[in-house]
Amino acid sequence: MTGPWGCARRGYVLEKYQQLFHRHAPSFLRHVLEGFRELRLSATEAADQLEISRSRLYALRTEYLEACANQTAHLWVPGGSGGDHTPAWPEPVLSLLKKRLGCSPPCPYSFVASEAWRLHSFKLDRAQVRRWAIQNHYAHPVPPQRPRAPVRRWQRSQIGELWQLDASPHRWFPQLPFDFPMLNMLDDCSRLFVGSKLYDRELLLSYFDFVPAAFLAHGRPLQLYVDYHSIFFSQTPEALTQLGWALKFYDISFLYAPTPQAKGKIEREHQFWQKRLPPYFASEQITDLENANRHIDDLRHHRNRHETHRELGRTPQRAWDLAKSQQRSVIRPAPRCPCWPYVWSQRTTLKLGSDCRVPIGSQRVRLEHPPGSKVVLCLHPSGHHSVLAAQPEPKQKPAILFTNRPN
């Protein structure tokens, strides 16, 4: 076994050998193992006499039988492991461990190990971080026992079949007494995070900012898995919400989760961020959304590329790339459509007055359009406005009457 974890394991084995020698003389060890070999002692009796586990007993018996085969049983003693050759951890890594584990709340051990690799290219295992924390008085308090999770639904077989979308309000900044919503979206097949971002409030404009950015970065899926929030589900039969209409415009539909437990994958990813981000923001003294989202992008990319998913046995990016290479993909590219910025905007139908003016913010803007006709006012996620002569239509260039979009 190689690497820092292998060295730590050899040190652990050496410690066990030293304890064995301290308790028992070599002649007594040989006597017990000879009795075990000749079946005068059972495995349980031999292990009890040597005060070791059955697995360690069988490991010692293997060494003893080799000595018997070489006719050196009378000279046999347990061999050493070679000692603990673990290299000293670099000072920047130790400083990082103290920073991440010494904040309130402390970072999870797995996240600290991930940060050591992301920031210093120093590979640590979660168990190594935990052991270091215990030895240096940075250990976490023991968490309460959680109820057993419900049975998990297996993932889709193709990337892009289903993306799970949900919001998680949480106190992300321990220094601030406010909850902010975090929008998360992941691919159900590969568990790739296609988007994660904090917003001031969970509004329609937040989704109009978040969803198309993920499509531009990763392509379009077939369906989005959502709950019955009013942004997704209309109480009017057969009607679509504005977000539902925008998705249908680009051939994407909603799939509604029957219960909160049915969205187990995205809920567990919420927990992933809830455990990591508050201590991270506390240790980095981050208290504003813009700065926080820049850090979230770095953490999300690192998680996708370098952290092995427990159920998949590989990183999400590797699972995504593998599905592509095996042609298990229904991802479609984001279209080059002139309607794109207007579809992903909050639209309101207005009727022009006799003065041909429409209210935009605190002003009334005059349009070169017949009085009494209807126009479409678009509020974009960036905060600027546009006015269209009609609702966006596929394969048609929108007629723009006004825009105050900054250059």
| Residue 296: alpha-carbon gap to chain centroid | 10
For position 86, what pLDDT does the model report?
Answer: 66
CA–CA dist 287, 178 (Å, integer): 11
The yes-or-no verdict on residue 292 having pLDDT over 90 is: yes
pLDDT band, very low/low/confident/very high, at 6 (cuts 50, 70, 90): very low
For position 11, what pLDDT does the model report?
Answer: 45
Q: What value does the mean pLDDT take over residues 282-293?
A: 94
Helix count and strand count (H, E) for the chain: 13, 11
For position 59, what pLDDT does the model report?
Answer: 86
**pLDDT tens for residues 127-145?**
999 999 999 999 988 777 7
The yes-or-no verdict on residue 355 having pLDDT over 60 is: yes
Give whole-number Cα distances, 290 to 168, 199, 286, 287, 298, in Å.
18, 9, 10, 9, 13
Helix (H, G, I), strand (E, B) or coil at 171: coil
CA–CA dist 160, 330 (Å, integer): 5
Q: What value does the mean pLDDT take over residues 277-284?
A: 94
Contact 117, 89 (CB under 8 A): no
Contact 389, 401 (CB under 8 A): yes
CA–CA dist 137, 113 (Å, integer): 17
For position 151, what pLDDT does the model report?
Answer: 55
The yes-or-no verdict on residue 222 having pLDDT over 80 is: yes
H or E stretch covering 182:
strand 180-187
**pLDDT tens for residues 254-271?**
999 887 777 888 888 899
Q: What value does the mean pLDDT take over residues 381-402?
A: 92
CA–CA dist 259, 90 (Å, integer): 48
Give whole-number Cα distances, 25 to 17, 29, 44, in Å.
12, 6, 20
For position 304, what pLDDT does the model report?
Answer: 95
Task: Please name the amino acid found at residue 179.
Answer: D
**pLDDT tens for residues 174-183?**
989 999 999 9
For position 12, what pLDDT does the model report?
Answer: 45
User: What is the share, in percent, of the chain residues with pLDDT greater than 70?
Assistant: 90
* Residue 175 backbone phi and psi in degrees, to 5: -75, -15
Task: Please name the amino acid found at residue 100.
Answer: R
pLDDT band, very low/low/confident/very high, at 5 (cuts 50, 70, 90): very low
Tokens describing residue 350: 């207005």
Q: What is the pTM of this model?
A: 0.73
Contact 401, 387 (CB under 8 A): yes
Is the peptide bond between 105 and the residue preceding it cis, with omega within 30 degrees of 0?
yes
| Angle, in degrees to the nearest 10, between helices 264-284 and 289-306 | 120
Tokens describing residue 227: 């709950």
* Residue 184 backbone phi and psi in degrees, to 5: -125, 145
| Least confident interval from 53-62, 65-74, 79-88 | 79-88
H or E stretch covering 325:
helix 316-325
For 121-167, where are the alpha helices, taking DSSP H only? Answer: 126-135
